[in-house]
Amino acid sequence: MLFRSVRYLECFGQSTGRSFNVSALLSEIQVTQNSNIAVSSEASPSWPVQPQRQSVTAQYKPWEQTRFLARKSGYQRRMRFLMQTLEEEQVQTIQKIRDFPDFKSGDILEVQMIVPENQKKMYLYRGVCISRSNKGIRSSFKIYNVFPDGGPVVQHIPLYMPDLVSIKVVGHTPTGSRMKKYHILEDVSSKYTFQKQVVQLKIPSPV
């Protein structure tokens, strides 16, 4: 680029009869470039700096009118935000009513729940927790028990379902350091027999 500019000045001088000091112009350009490089190297580092992302909480509720509603691309994001807010409110309401203990995989649990298919009777289940999934309102856990007559049974229980009455931690089994205890499903011995049969409970009458 610089060579083309110099050739342009020479041709322009020959055609118009003017003389240009090309060497002086080149020296001034070189000095200017060197000064610009020195200033830029002092002002900023040689590698790009990635800006830190800060989590910003929304300053409005999802059902309020905003200027983003005019954009069709914002509908899906708005609906996701709305569902997330409603699920968080539902989880907080359930936690105030039913205070479940903090349990994890490997704990032996006693679960009281109502079975709507059997005339809404209340039953007591006992087993070892083999996994727990924390996904907001869709959280769930699985308990494993080996019945002497029926064999091994795995129950998948939603944590915030309305038929779940109570959860009680009654012990712990040393089943290794894995987060999910699926490897104990291969053991169908009496080692994991925590109850011989399902116990039916009486539903307390409302006061």
Tell me how many domains the chain contains.
Answer: 3
Residues 27 and 74 in one domain: no
Q: What is the pLDDT of residues 94-108, one digit of tens each?
A: 888 888 889 888 899
For residues 127 and 193, give the distance between their C-alpha atoms in angstroms, rounded to a whole number. Answer: 8
In this structure, the dihedral spanned by the alpha carbons of residues 121, 162, 99 and 105, taken in order and rounded to 10 degrees, is: 90
Task: State how far the alpha carbon of 166 is from the alpha carbons of 13, 46, 67, 131, 150, in Å.
Answer: 97, 61, 45, 18, 25
For residues 145 and 154, give the distance between their C-alpha atoms in angstroms, rounded to a whole number. Answer: 7
CA 53 to chain centre: 16
Range of the domain at 33: 2-39
Q: Does the residue 18 lie in any domain?
A: yes
CATH number at residue 147: 2.30.30.790
- Check pLDDT > 50 for residue 124: yes
The answer to whether 103 touches 168, Cβ cutoff 8 Å, is no
Closest to 155 in 3D by CA, of 191, 189, 195, 190: 195
| φ, ψ dihedrals at 62, nearest 5° | -65, -15
Residues 115 and 137 in one domain: yes
Residues 118 and 187 in one domain: yes
Residue 194, number of CB atoms within 10 A of its CB: 20
Q: What is the pLDDT of residues 131-186, one digit of tens each?
A: 999 888 899 999 999 888 888 899 999 999 989 999 999 988 876 666 778 888 88
Query: What is the pTM (predicted TM-score) of this model?
Result: 0.60
pLDDT at 207: 44
Residues 72 and 91 in one domain: yes
Angle, vertex CA 199, rays to CA 198 and CA 200, nearest 5:
120
For residues 28 and 59, give the distance between their C-alpha atoms in angstroms, rounded to a whole number. Answer: 55
Residues 114 and 189 in one domain: yes
Q: What is the pLDDT of residues 3-35, one digit of tens each?
A: 555 555 566 556 555 555 556 555 665 655 565
